Amino acid sequence: MAHAEATLPSMLKLLADPTRLRMLALLALEELSVGELSRALDMAQSRVSNHLRILREADLLRERHVGPSTHLRLATPGNGQAPLGRLWTALQPELDALPEHAADRARLDGLLAERRARDGDFFDRVAGEWDKIAGAFSTGRARLRAGVTLLPADTVVADLGCGTGYMAESLLGACSKLICVDRSEGMLEEATKRLAGRGPTEVEVRPGALDALPIEDGEVDGVVAGMVLHHLEEPFGAVHEMLRVLRPGGAAAVLELAPHKEAWMHRELGDRHLGLEPQDVLAAFRRAGFESIALESVDDRYQPPSASGDPVSLALYLVRGRKPRA
Ligand SMILES: C[S@@+](CC[C@H](N)C(=O)[O-])C[C@H]1O[C@@H](n2cnc3c(N)ncnc32)[C@H](O)[C@@H]1O
């Protein structure tokens, strides 16, 4: 029997039972499992289940299944518009006056306190293991996305040598416009596939070279070049171009590989230089006219799979600078 079809006598009969009224009063306050409800009412679970069946048939319960247990809450009948809903709205303030309600509330408070203590203990117990447990089902991308919404988002950023858009992806949502530049049409096609229709950031891909960027003077607020400069024959000319395309006060960040000896990377990964000296990148920033220049270590390693199968783990660093305002 759905509540919309309930007759007035059946509605009144439903609400005329003191046990059902006590149950409804508790479920209006808190979502409870059947076991918890029985404890709060100090009543055998079989008796509670019989009444629950009647309430369920009248569509008065919202149910949620967690593992083997069912959690119940009062569903406002017909959003309070149907006759049963109106009746319930009128009755609700009277429920506090039920003789057994004070004792029900006291038992409910006790079991909610137990539940809080148990939930607290649960996280204390699993804290050391949590990353392993949650690693399987958590998504870092969503968390990063939530975090970047807190940053000023009305900025235009250029990702220079964007490749397949791996780095640009982490900037989605963090800026209003993202200009992805690469000289490889194939890479730009892949970047477009990865970045298209992914959120509020406008993405524009532009074919072009780092030493003659397809970007107007002062067009962007920030430029990033990740793992790109060591691919250029003359890596440092690109730093002048970065300054040109930045608006006054705009910022540049270069992520680079520290010098290494993995000569196979020339052949296998198209690297022209086996890493770059951080001091050379810093000097290029100074020569170009950047200010507030900083060298930072990066808490990450570059671990390309080598042809020999030997593990390779290379150091990375970051150089940043700002275009003077005046
Ligand atoms: C190793 S990928 C880096 C991709 C991306 N930035 C990242 O962090 O994953 C290097 C990219 O730089 C591009 N590239 C190399 N030399 C370039 C140049 N002179 N001008 C523009 N793009 C260049 C390549 O086509 C390639 O897509």
pLDDT at 300 over 90: yes
pLDDT at 89 over 50: yes
Amino acid code (one letter) for 82:
A
Q: How many CB atoms lie within 10 A of CB 276?
A: 21
Which residue has 């203990």 as its token pair? 121
Distance CA 90, CA 12 (A): 13
Give residue 6's pLDDT. 64
- For the CA of 182, the closest atom of ligand 1 is 22
Give residue 115's pLDDT. 87
Give residue 165's pLDDT. 95
CA of 111 to the centre of ligand 1 (A): 60
Distance CA 308, CA 227 (A): 22
CA of 28 to the centre of ligand 1 (A): 60
Does 210 sit in the ligand 1 pocket, CB within 6 Å? Answer: yes
Percent of the chain residues topping a pLDDT of 90: 62
Q: How many CB atoms lie within 10 A of CB 38?
A: 19
What is the rounded average pLDDT of the residues 190-199? 91
pLDDT at 79 over 90: no
Q: How confident is the model at residue 148 (pLDDT cuts 50, 70, 90)?
A: confident
- Numbers of helices and strands, H then E, in the chain: 13, 10
Distance CA 179, CA 162 (A): 9
Fold annotation for 140-322: Rossmann fold (3.40.50)
Does 232 sit in the ligand 1 pocket, CB within 6 Å? Answer: yes
DSSP E strands: which ranges in 19-140? Answer: 32-33, 61-66, 69-74
- For the CA of 163, the closest atom of ligand 1 is 27
Q: Which one has a higher pLDDT value, 141 or 57?
A: 57
Does 183 sit in the ligand 1 pocket, CB within 6 Å? Answer: yes
Distance CA 259, CA 316 (A): 9
Q: How confident is the model at residue 59 (pLDDT cuts 50, 70, 90)?
A: confident
CA of 224 to the centre of ligand 1 (A): 11
What is the rounded average pLDDT of the residues 94-100? 83
Mutate to test the pocket of ligand 1, among 228, 273, 298 (most ligand atoms within 8 A of CB): 228
* Domain residue ranges in the chain: 3-135, 140-322
Cβ–Cβ < 8 Å for 292, 322: yes
CA of 110 to the centre of ligand 1 (A): 62
- For the CA of 270, the closest atom of ligand 1 is 1
- Same fold for the domain at 3-135 and the one at 140-322? no
pLDDT at 253 over 90: yes
Q: How far is CA 312 from CA 71, 239, 261, 315, in A?
A: 52, 28, 10, 10
- For the CA of 233, the closest atom of ligand 1 is 19
- What the block records as the tokens of 111 is 């079991």
Give residue 91's pLDDT. 82
Give the distance from CA 272 to its chain's centroid.
37
What is the rounded average pLDDT of the residues 204-228? 97
Q: Which one has a higher pLDDT value, 87 or 36?
A: 36
Please name every residue paired with 256 in a beta bridge, in sequence order, or none if there are none: 317
Give residue 215's pLDDT. 98
Q: How confident is the model at residue 2 (pLDDT cuts 50, 70, 90)?
A: very low
Fold annotation for 3-135: Arc Repressor Mutant, subunit A (1.10.10)
43's CB contacts (< 8 A; 6+ apart) are 19
Give residue 285's pLDDT. 98
- What's the pLDDT tens digit per position in 3-44? 445 677 888 888 899 999 999 999 989 999 999 999 999 999
Distance CA 287, CA 309 (A): 40
Does 162 sit in the ligand 1 pocket, CB within 6 Å? Answer: yes
* Mean pLDDT, the chain, whole residue set: 89
pLDDT at 142 over 80: no
- Size of the chain in residues: 326
pLDDT at 307 over 70: yes
